[in-house]
Amino acid sequence: MKPVTVKITSAAAGERADKALALHFTDLSRARLQEAFANEKVLLRGQPIAKSHHVAAGDVLTVELPVFPISEVVAVAGDLQIMFEDDDILVLDKGPRLIMHPGSGTGEDTLVHFALHHTGGKLSKLGGTKRPGIVHRLDKDTTGAVVLAKSDRAYLALTKQFAEREVAKEYLALVRDVPKLRSGSIREPIGRNPVVRVKMAVVPGARGKPAHTDWSVEETFGQSAALVRCWLHTGRTHQIRVHLAHLDHPLLGDYTYGWKPHGPQAIQPLRVMLHAALLSFPHPADGRLLEFRAPVPEDFLAVAAQLREEGRRHAKAQVVKRM
């Protein structure tokens, strides 16, 4: 694989090199990064560094990631939160830090491995044997509702529905600062970041693909953060993360797109604070409208509770100061 350069930001300054790179390469498995260090493929100023090396802001690392061959996907027992299942589809409430399907450097612990075990191998192979049943994706850190196709007719119907934007997708996000408007619509094209190819970005003209996100502020936490509900009308990679960062409101925990903690007691989520709260689509067999709401996970609720308490403390401090 062609080497990639990574510039260490102030948010990752002082971290171990392996942790700093994990914050940058959010969709890569830990095994793939560890292999790069073991093979001396992580360089600083042309010299290999250990994973325990503490990096500084402005350091430029050159990383050559190993390419792991993907073998046939096997069924592996694992924990799945099932929301609905019949002969055609399997709807799951995906947990955090769970990769959707196998790829270079992943282990046998993806959602697809677990789903194959649960269904006895009954996932559609029309999309390829390496990604059985997959018709859409959630990022590794994103939680919430996701649908897999068990039958071929379901795969064909669902891929058509996603392509023609017949699927309703609603997300909850915790973002930095409070938007000036209560709601809005973002229609900025998204494409590969021209400098850091593992990232996406708002890019002008034909270099980007059309992307449309509607959003509304649900709750504010003082002036430091807000809970935002988003509706996706397109399905670009990292769309919500890129669009909200473009508005200067990156998601909490999203180091890749500009978030960093503030102050010595700043809240530091262990993942990107994004949850797929609702998924709705016509059933691929009989056309009846299905709607699935995934409960907000405990870690998301805990961060929101911390923000709420921090907002109350700040409000009290402001009152005392005025008095």
Residue type (1 letter), 4: V
One of 139, 177, 248, 286 is an active-site residue; which one?
A: 139
Phi, psi angle pair for 25, to nearest 5°? -95, 75
Q: What residues have CB less than 8 Å from 54, skipping those under 6 apart?
A: 14, 15, 16, 17
| Residue 75 and residue 2 in contact, taking contact as beta carbons nearer than 8 Å | no
| Residue 17 and residue 50 in contact, taking contact as beta carbons nearer than 8 Å | yes
Q: In terms of Cα–Cα distance, which of 99, 53, 59 is closest to 78?
A: 99
Examine the residue annotation and report whether 139 is marked as an active-site residue of this protein: yes
Q: In terms of Cα–Cα distance, which of 99, 100, 133, 128 is closest to 116?
A: 133
CA–CA gap between residue 275 and residue 227 (Å, rounded): 11
Using CA atoms of 234, 240, 241, 246 in order, give the dihedral in degrees to the nearest 10.
Answer: 90
Catalytic residues: 139
